[in-house]
Chain A
Amino acid sequence: MSAEAAWPGVVAVVLVSLATLAIGTWGLRVSRTTSDFYVASRSVRPGLNASAIGGEYLSAASFLGVAGLVLTFGADMLWYPIGWTAGYLVLLVLVAAPLRRSGAYTLPDFAEARLDSKRARGVCSLLVVTIGWLYLVPQFEGAGLTLGAALGAPAWVGPLVVGAVVVVNVSAGGMRSITFVQAFQYWLKLTALLVPLLVLLVVWVGDRGRLPAPATGDDAWSLPLGGTGVGDLYTTYSLVIATFLGTMGLPHVVVRFYTNPDGRAARRTTLVVLGLLGLFYVLPPLYGALGRAYGVSDDADTLVLDLPRLMVDGLGGDLLTALVTAGAFAAFLSTSSGLAIAVSGVLAQGATRRRPGTGEVRAFRLAAVVAVVVPLAAALALPDVNVARAVGLAFAVAASTFCPLLVLGIWWRGLTAPGAVAGLVVGGAGALAGVAWTVAHPQARTWVDVALGQPAAWTVPLAVVTMVAVSRATRDRIPRHARRFLVRLHTPEGLGLEARTGR
């Protein structure tokens, strides 16, 4: 790659990083208390909060991964973006308002408040860190891919730049400043995908609309479930279950719900998020289809970055590439920031509990460094994995653990601490076994590979059954305040029954 072709991309990456730091620093001036750090003092309006959730949620997997998967595997892969959006509908109807009304700051807080158990809290903390790190590794790898494809930089530059910006931003401003940063980044990502796509579609029409799938021989690509085996059907449904149910268990998503002023606002925020995500997810598959039409076959993960240069010659192509590079970079920054906040929040709480007296804000800043450095090292050490698939496994773990905990905890009085812990351990172990197996055996050959490659279809029911069965067996351990807690979760605000919030 010539230095001339790379400079618009370099400028774009520098601009996005500077804008992120500038907005973050501006947020620092209004961010002073612990409550600001964790949940932006619970005062974020639905429109802003929804943009921030969208900005945080649309990760490397959405921006780069989906187009690449559609390019390689065809229409089956449309289920990834559908699941990532529908997950918010499931979250909306099952947990949005009650979760906000629970008055807890994090998932471990929720578990402790609902179940009155330090052990349940500990298991949840461990899971938050696990899921957060699982999700962070592909973000860092995506950053390496992007800077490599757009600027010709070595693979370690991207992860280091993203890691550094995230640590500075998170430890400087906490949740409040991040809210503004992420709201900005949603709109940046949408623009960065939409504008080049419109140009490319015009070019495509100019080329007399070559069809995505050639008429002969390649029909399977444009059809969902082009393969006819039962395994394909299982994999698709397992993916649907993981994404539909996993969204509510992602630590960086859940923490955002505590920043809503009340339960009603939490619902309305979620509804706006549904709209924003739908708007965005129409775009990446079109990149995949265009890539197919123009005969791109390898480098699936960098398709979105390569396509503008392939279809448009000269400076125009370079500028469009710069724009998508900026969007991709925003995707890594915002998702990594959100995950780093969630993980460091849990780490900091754990540390200050062990050693009371440590300044909370200082603990949060230290935890932010740890939260970023560990997955950064993993991303640099591990060979590159498919970004969207890796994120899919994080969803499977979240769906098999936090989804049953939240749904049963919110809707069923009979949940006990032993039941919850047993379910979390069983579901988490099953899904993590799937992750480990898939890393060791990337090619699916036998039904064991298929079942473990996409484990949610059996780990979610297993976790639910375990939670219910063990809770029934330990009926005497139902927390005494369980009924009163459910009252708090479900009664609307304004009746004087809101949960008292600590801190």
Chain B
Amino acid sequence: MSESEGARPARVRVTGPDRRHRPRPAVRDLDDDTPLGGLYLGSLLREQRRLALRVLVALALSVGVWPLVFWLAPGLAQVRVLGAPLAWLLLGGLVYPWLVFLGWRYVRAAERTERDFAELVGEVEQ
């Protein structure tokens, strides 16, 4: 027992990361209009724009076409489902949950894009 007291582990110096050579935070690039910042912003904008367009196209194809469809095929509107005209079911009821669904999908996707972006510009900062 007394022998082990002499064999102390050598002292280790504990230091933090070198602060003088910290990489430039990506957030600064964004703000100061550097080429790298332009690249970051461009990718974020492109991603969000594509997402917005996707939802708008879905809206146009799922809701916006109905006037044209009913105009081209007037017989369709007379079809009755559960006693109610199809047009009323679609335009008076089902369209609303569908709009909420589209919005919900959009919010989820937009928040994911922003999280990814925050991680991207945050990583360089570490």
Partner of A223, one of B56, B70, B103, B107: B70
Is A228 close to B, CB under 8 A?
yes
Chain A residues with a Cβ closer than 8 Å to the other chain, count: 52
The CA-CA distance from A225 to B68 in the complex, in Å, is: 9
A282 within 8 A of partner (CB): yes
> How many residues does chain B have at the interface if contact means C-beta atoms less than 8 Å apart?
50
Query: A234 — nearest CB in chain B belongs to which residue?
Result: B67
Taking the closest CB of chain A, its distance from the CB of B39, in whole angstroms, is: 12
B79 to chain A, nearest CB (A): 11
**Residues of chain B from 74 to 121 with CB closer than 8 A to chain A in the complex:** 74, 77-78, 85, 87-88, 91-93, 95-97, 99-100, 102-104, 106-107, 110-111, 114-115, 117-118, 121
Interfacial chain B residues near A232, Cβ < 8 Å: 71
Q: Are B85 and A93 in contact (CB under 8 A)?
A: no
Within 8 A of B (CB), among A251-308: 264, 267-268, 270-271, 274-275, 277-279, 281-282, 285-286, 289
Q: B91 and A224: CB pair below 8 A?
A: yes
A224's partner among B51, B87, B97 (CB-CB below 8 A) is B87
Most buried by A among B70, B88, B103: B103
Tell yes or no: A90 within 8 A of B by CB. yes
* Bound: A401/B113 CA distance, A: 30
Let me know if A237 is at the binding interface, CB within 8 A.
Answer: yes
Question: Is the CB–CB distance between A487 and B52 below 8 Å?
Answer: no
Separation of A289 and B89 alpha carbons in the complex (Å): 13
Of B41, B64, B100, B110, which is within 8 A of A275 by CB?
A: B100
Shortest C-beta distance, B81 to chain A (Å), equals 13
A233 at interface by CB-CB < 8 Å = yes
Q: Are the CB atoms of A492 and B114 closer together than 8 Å?
A: yes
Q: Is B31 an interface residue (CB 8 A)?
A: yes
Contact check, A223 vs B92: say whether CB atoms are below 8 A apart. no
Cβ contacts under 8 Å, B107 to chain A: 92, 267-268, 271
- 17 further A-B contacts with Cβ under 8 Å, apart from A79-B67, A223-B78, A487-B31, are A78-B91, A82-B91, A82-B95, A86-B63, A92-B106, A94-B56, A219-B78, A222-B77, A225-B70, A233-B68, A240-B64, A271-B104, A492-B114, A492-B117, A495-B30, A495-B118, A495-B121
A residues sitting closer than 8 Å to B (CB atoms) are: 75, 78-79, 82, 85-86, 88-90, 92-94, 97, 219, 222-225, 228, 232-233, 236-237, 240, 244, 264, 267-268, 270-271, 274-275, 277-279, 281-282, 285-286, 289, 411, 483-484, 486-487, 490-492, 494-497
